[in-house]
């Protein structure tokens, strides 16, 4: 039992003495009426708590107001309850699932007979406004399991969750107005605190995230303390739509899809030019330390049985009917690993050769679920910048450092910001626990040695080993997984890989799987969105568009273009329509440079250079000087 008085330490070091069982609300009130009014929640022992939760022991406390970022999830969680309150008013039979705060807002899952329509969402939003105006207090109560069972007798989803609690565990419920929810909290003091919110979309979602369970109807929304923040967020969503690579891919004529091959891109001439440029860049960076090889696309099932994919991964593989056997006993490769292992094993390797790095840019096929496909970021046919490193145990740390620098250097070349995640053993895996212990420890140690910050993602590893994933953030803050470094002790066993050691005896190498772009398809999608289609000159599908002012100057314009093309510049002369029309078109296609040729330029061998987005500002320069500018930009891969 706590003593009668407790000592509360404030962030500035002040110590308050209050009766045991006082709440953070009491603390705020004793500091001042202004804070009491502004307080939304508090942090005690590193945990966010509601203002009404009693404090039983001496502790440090920090009161949260709208200024503290930790209060935003509290507001959003309350917004989810307010949403549920509104839904229950309008659809009384709705079962309630979970309704948490998420990074961008909140959602709530409902079990209803008929899915929600956009009109329903508008009605819920209106009803939420009424709940907010009613300013219902959020009341927290502790109940025992038996009482909770009674309270949620009509809510089977809540009852299921309830049964997962230990009998002795503290169960809390929150009530606002008529709405009662099984909930750990915390919440803002009352519904009136929710001022700026919006419901965004409805969608199906499996109960407990399990595809074997029933599908609930999820409503997504977002909420902020300040109107400006909400507006900024909504504007950012609009910006994301504007930059969507699927939209820009069509507008800039880079790639397209056709129902005859779902999940596989048709690259247009412009898109192909960019794809090839990226490929050249990758090859150039790999030239020094990697050995590029090409391996078959089609393999017998024996290979996949040996690799373990036949058992764990077959539903994702495109099986091919073998005409002689009449069986589907061949498959297009979904990854390059086994073929690299086969090649490695075909020769005898000395410890002196290691590490050996085989790199392959071949096309891969994975039969993804139809619903998973999305633009270029999730496709069935793609090319990885794949590599497998064969190395000695004692080389792991050095190799991880090398690969990490190599990967991050690639992202930096495009001005992409990245973050690192360490992913550990998943539930579905091959290999013994001892192997996994060893692999995780080795990889983590190597990652630590790089000195770079990282997050841990438990259970997110590959089925054969732990991995380091590299995520990049695009210019509007979304994160995508691209690169990876995966440590594999399993494949060397399965493929009986060896090297001859200093002792003239065979030893097992370790395998590291590495990708940088992830896939060319996904990487290009990110580049499109990152640059909003305005690619740096070296990468742009068309680098210069030459515009003669009238037919008279076409010959001169073509000469100027030929000079650039001879130096490897991607250039096109556009002769149709009016000058204004062609300038508008070139700007729409986000071509980095326009070179305009009229009487003045034709007579003195110059071009009038107009930069993308620069409006009427232009610079007249000699053809040679313009070529120098371009070649320098392209050579240095300037980000413009």
Partner RNA sequence: GCUCUGAUAGCUCAGUGGUAGAGCGCGUCCUUGGUAAGGACGAGGUCGCGGGUUCAAUCCCCGCUCAGAGCUCCA
Choose the stretch contacting RNA; rule: CB under 7 A; options: 175-183, 398-406, 448-456, 606-614. Answer: 606-614
Catalytic status, residue 328: no
**Does 282 contact RNA by CB under 7 A?**
no
- φ, ψ at 621 (rounded to 5°): -145, 165
Q: What angle (nearest 5°) sits at the alpha carbon of residue 139, between those of residues 135 and 145? A: 150
- The least CB distance from residue 521 to RNA, in Å, is 5
Is the distance from CB of 597 to CB of 573 less than 8 angstroms? no
Please identify which residue in 98, 257, 390, 436 interacts with RNA, judged by CB under 7 A. 257
Selected catalytic residue, list 384, 395, 486, 543: 384
Counting Cα atoms < 13 Å in the Cβ hemisphere of 629 gives 19
Burial of residue 75, with CB atoms counted within 10 A of its CB: 0-12 exposed, 13-18 middle, 19 or more buried? buried
The C-alpha R_g of the chain, in whole angstroms, comes to 31
Catalytic status, residue 198: no
Q: Name which of 99 and 202 has its Cβ closer to RNA.
A: 202
Tokens at residue 89, please? Answer: 């008013």
**Does 476 contact RNA by CB under 7 A?**
no
Catalytic status, residue 378: no
- The least CB distance from residue 567 to RNA, in Å, is 22
Q: Name which of 149 and 246 has its Cβ closer to RNA.
A: 246
Residues near RNA (CB under 7 A), total: 71
Q: Name which of 201 and 232 has its Cβ closer to RNA.
A: 201
Binding positions for RNA, 538-567, rule CB under 7 A = 549-552
Q: Name which of 85 and 519 has its Cβ closer to RNA.
A: 519
- The least CB distance from residue 428 to RNA, in Å, is 7
Distance between CA atoms of residues 516 and 45, nearest Å:
41
**Does 481 contact RNA by CB under 7 A?**
yes
Choose the stretch contacting RNA; rule: CB under 7 A; options: 67-75, 403-411, 504-512, 582-590. Answer: 582-590
**Does 366 contact RNA by CB under 7 A?**
yes
- φ, ψ at 528 (rounded to 5°): -60, -45
Binding positions for RNA, 163-192, rule CB under 7 A = none
- The full DSSP string for 139-207 is EEEEE-HHHHHHHTTT-HHHHHHHTTS-TTS-EEEEEETTEEEE------SBGGG--EEEEEEEEEEEG
Distance between CA atoms of residues 136 and 139, nearest Å:
9
H/E segment holding residue 377: none
Choose the stretch contacting RNA; rule: CB under 7 A; options: 8-16, 265-273, 377-385, 449-457. Answer: 377-385
Question: How far is C-alpha 144 from the chain's CA centre?
Answer: 41
Binding positions for RNA, 232-251, rule CB under 7 A = 246, 250
Catalytic status, residue 144: no
CA distances from 173 to 40, 118, 151, 184, 218 (A): 18, 30, 9, 7, 22
Please identify which residue in 598, 626, 627, 630 interacts with RNA, judged by CB under 7 A. 598
Selected catalytic residue, list 385, 386, 474, 488: 386
- The least CB distance from residue 533 to RNA, in Å, is 12
Q: Name which of 139 and 619 has its Cβ closer to RNA.
A: 619
Please identify which residue in 346, 370, 502, 504 interacts with RNA, judged by CB under 7 A. 370
Please identify which residue in 432, 578, 622, 636 interacts with RNA, judged by CB under 7 A. 578
Binding positions for RNA, 63-122, rule CB under 7 A = 115
Residues 6+ apart with CB under 8 A from 331: 298, 299, 301, 304, 314, 317, 318, 319, 320
- The least CB distance from residue 598 to RNA, in Å, is 3
- The least CB distance from residue 187 to RNA, in Å, is 23
Choose the stretch contacting RNA; rule: CB under 7 A; options: 39-47, 144-152, 255-263, 393-401. Answer: 255-263
- φ, ψ at 233 (rounded to 5°): -65, -45
Binding positions for RNA, 394-453, rule CB under 7 A = 426
Selected catalytic residue, list 158, 233, 444, 467: 467
Q: Name which of 53 and 521 has its Cβ closer to RNA.
A: 521
Please identify which residue in 179, 382, 414, 489 interacts with RNA, judged by CB under 7 A. 382
Distance between CA atoms of residues 243 and 331, nearest Å:
36
Catalytic status, residue 467: yes
Is the distance from CB of 570 to CB of 595 less than 8 angstroms? no
Catalytic status, residue 349: no
**Does 215 contact RNA by CB under 7 A?**
yes
Beta bridge partners of 606: 622
Catalytic status, residue 398: no
Selected catalytic residue, list 218, 366, 425, 612: 366
Contacts 24+ apart (CB under 8 A), 8-13: 8/55, 8/58, 8/59, 8/60, 8/61, 9/58, 9/59, 9/60, 9/61, 10/60, 10/61, 10/62, 11/60, 11/62
**Does 204 contact RNA by CB under 7 A?**
yes
Q: Cβ–Cβ contacts within 10 Å for residue 150, how many?
A: 8
- The least CB distance from residue 472 to RNA, in Å, is 10
Residues 6+ apart with CB under 8 A from 433: none
Choose the stretch contacting RNA; rule: CB under 7 A; options: 153-161, 303-311, 388-396, 614-622. Answer: 614-622
Q: Name which of 322 and 554 has its Cβ closer to RNA.
A: 554
**Does 634 contact RNA by CB under 7 A?**
no
3-state secondary structure of 262: coil
Active site residues: 337, 366, 384, 386, 388, 467, 513
């Amino acid at each position: 039992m706590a003593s009668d008085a407790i000592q509360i330490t404030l962030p500035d070091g002040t110590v308050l003495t209050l009766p045991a069982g006082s709440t953070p609300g009491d603390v705020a009130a004793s500091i001042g009426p202004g804070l009491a009014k502004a307080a939304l929640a508090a942090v005690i022992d590193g945990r966010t708590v509601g203002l009404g939760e009693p404090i039983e022991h001496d502790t440090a406390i920090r009161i949260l107001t709208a200024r503290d970022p930790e209060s935003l999830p509290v507001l959003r969680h309350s917004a989810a309850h307010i949403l549920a309150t509104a839904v229950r008013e309008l659809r009384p039979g709705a079962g309630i699932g979970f309704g948490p705060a998420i990074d961008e807002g909140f959602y709530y899952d409902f079990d209803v007979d008929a899915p929600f329509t956009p009109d329903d969402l508008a009605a819920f939003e209106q009803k939420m406004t009424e709940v907010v105006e009613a300013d219902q207090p959020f009341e927290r109560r502790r109940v025992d399991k038996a009482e909770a069972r009674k309270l949620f007798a009509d809510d089977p989803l809540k009852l299921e969750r309830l049964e997962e609690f230990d009998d002795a565990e503290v169960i809390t419920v929150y009530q606002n107005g008529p709405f009662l929810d099984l909930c750990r909290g915390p919440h803002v003091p009352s519904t009136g605190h929710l001022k700026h919110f919006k419901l965004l979309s409805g969608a199906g979602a499996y109960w407990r995230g399990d595809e074997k369970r029933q599908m609930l109807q999820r409503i997504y929304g977002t909420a902020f303390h300040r109107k400006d923040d909400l507006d900024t967020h909504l504007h950012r969503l609009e910006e994301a739509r504007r930059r969507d690579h699927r939209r820009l891919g069509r507008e800039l004529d880079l790639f397209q899809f056709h129902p005859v091959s779902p999940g596989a891109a048709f690259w247009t001439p412009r898109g192909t030019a960019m794809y090839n440029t990226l490929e050249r860049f990758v090859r150039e960076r790999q030239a020094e330390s990697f050995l590029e090889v090409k391996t078959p696309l089609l393999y017998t099932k024996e290979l996949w049985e040996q690799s373990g994919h036949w058992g764990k991964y077959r539903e994702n593989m495109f099986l091919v009917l073998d005409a002689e056997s009449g069986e589907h006993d061949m498959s297009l490769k979904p990854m390059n690993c086994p073929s690299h292992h086969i090649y490695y094993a075909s020769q005898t390797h000395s410890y002196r050769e290691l590490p050996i790095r085989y790199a392959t840019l071949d096309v891969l096929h994975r039969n993804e679920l139809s619903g998973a496909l999305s633009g270029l970021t999730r496709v069935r046919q793609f090319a990885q910048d794949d590599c497998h490193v064969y190395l000695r145990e004692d080389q792991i740390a050095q190799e991880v450092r090398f690969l990490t620098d190599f990967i991050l250097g690639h992202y930096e070349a495009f001005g992409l910001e990245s973050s690192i995640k360490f992913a550990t053993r998943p539930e579905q895996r091959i290999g013994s626990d001892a192997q996994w212990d060893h692999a995780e420890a080795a990889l983590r140690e190597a990652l630590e040695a790089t000195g770079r910050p990282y997050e841990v993602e438990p259970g997110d590893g590959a089925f054969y080993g732990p991995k380091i994933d590299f995520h990049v953030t695009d210019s509007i803050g979304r994160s995508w997984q691209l690169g990876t470094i995966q440590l594999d002790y399993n494949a060397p066993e399965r493929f009986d890989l060896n090297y001859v050691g200093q002792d003239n005896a065979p030893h097992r190498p370790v395998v590291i799987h590495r990708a940088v772009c992830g896939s060319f398809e996904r990487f290009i999608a990110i580049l499109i969105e990152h640059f909003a289609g305005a690619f740096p000159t070296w990468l742009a599908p068309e680098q210069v568009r030459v515009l003669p002012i009238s037919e008279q100057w076409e010959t001169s314009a073509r000469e100027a273009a030929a000079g650039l093309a001879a130096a490897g510049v991607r250039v096109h002369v556009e002769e149709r329509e009016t000058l204004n029309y062609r300038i508008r078109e070139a700007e729409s296609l986000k071509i980095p440079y326009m070179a305009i040729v009229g009487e003045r330029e034709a007579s003195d061998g110059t071009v009038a250079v107009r930069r993308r987005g620069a409006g009427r500002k232009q610079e007249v320069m000699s053809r040679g000087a313009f070529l120098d500018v371009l070649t320098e930009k392209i050579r240095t891969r300037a980000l413009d």
